[in-house]
Amino acid sequence: MPYLSNDQGTNNFIIAFNVEFNYLSGSNIRLALLTRNTQAYRLAKDTDSYFKNYFGLTESSNKRNTLGPNRLFMPFPVNSIKYGLYNHLPTTQLDDFFKREFSKIILDAMFNEKIDNELILTLAFYLNVGFIKALNLAQQFNGRLPLRAYPEVSCIKAKFLESEIALNEITREIMNGTHVTFPKWLMNWVDLCEDFISKQLEQVNNFFEVQYKVERFINQSLSLTPEEVDLLRYIVEQSLRKYHDEKEI
């Protein structure tokens, strides 16, 4: 996204930013920009100008959103921008840095991809296993990684079994892989997590707390439903257990 990656002009006003998927009032993207008070008006004006020009050039500008089943609120018009619809809660400087770099990674990972639920869940799986890889590197565990137990729900287990072979292969590739074998966005993710873990453990000294925090960032950014979160946790746990069982044979 040139608007967020340029080194010139408006980008110099942006201290931090955060990108999140959202499904209230239709499929849309939330973008939060942090700037100084003295530069807020200029940033807002340039932001509005950039996106209105961008939307005017996109091929889908003539499409219309319709009210879907079981929806109470009409979706936003296609290719429109709305301001001030939600409050971005203040966070620490370390969290702001993590969210900004994580947003860049999401944009890189999905560049030129057709975005649907399957892609989002697959990306979430990569991110979660990549985080465990980083936790392993940061803590240099010699045995099993810390795993949490989740109850087996028949429908969740069935969905896992449908893709078990592919998920186990992805897990092996990430856990046994190196930066040379990773795509750039995954390499950047593991590096970001390793740095974040080290700095967070200096403050809380509890890797479970750090894991919960990163999971929350992932779930919020990808707008995962509670059902998708349960499914994701289960398939990550099962895939990691399979990986460790194979290593111990």
* Cβ-based burial of 137 (10 A; exposed 0-12, middle 13-18, buried ≥19): middle
Percent residues over pLDDT 90 in the chain: 23
**What confidence tens digit (pLDDT) does each residue in 6-56 have?**
544 455 677 777 787 776 666 777 788 888 888 888 888 888 888 888 777
> What rounded mean pLDDT belongs to the chain?
79
* pLDDT band with cut points at 50, 70 and 90 for residue 124: very high
Q: Residue 147: is its pLDDT beyond 80? A: no
| Three-state secondary-structure class, residue 236 | helix
Contact between 99 and 50 (Cβ < 8 Å): no
- Say what the pTM is: 0.75
Percent residues over pLDDT 70 in the chain: 77
The dihedrals phi and psi of 157, each to the nearest 5 degrees, come to -60, -40
| Three-state secondary-structure class, residue 18 | strand
More confident residue, 138 or 38: 38
Angle, helix 154-162 to helix 226-248, in steps of 10 degrees:
60
**What confidence tens digit (pLDDT) does each residue in 177-227 have?**
887 789 999 999 999 999 999 898 888 877 788 888 999 999 989 989 888
Residues with Cβ within 8 Å of 20's Cβ and at least 6 positions away in sequence, in order, are: 29, 30, 32, 220, 221, 222, 223
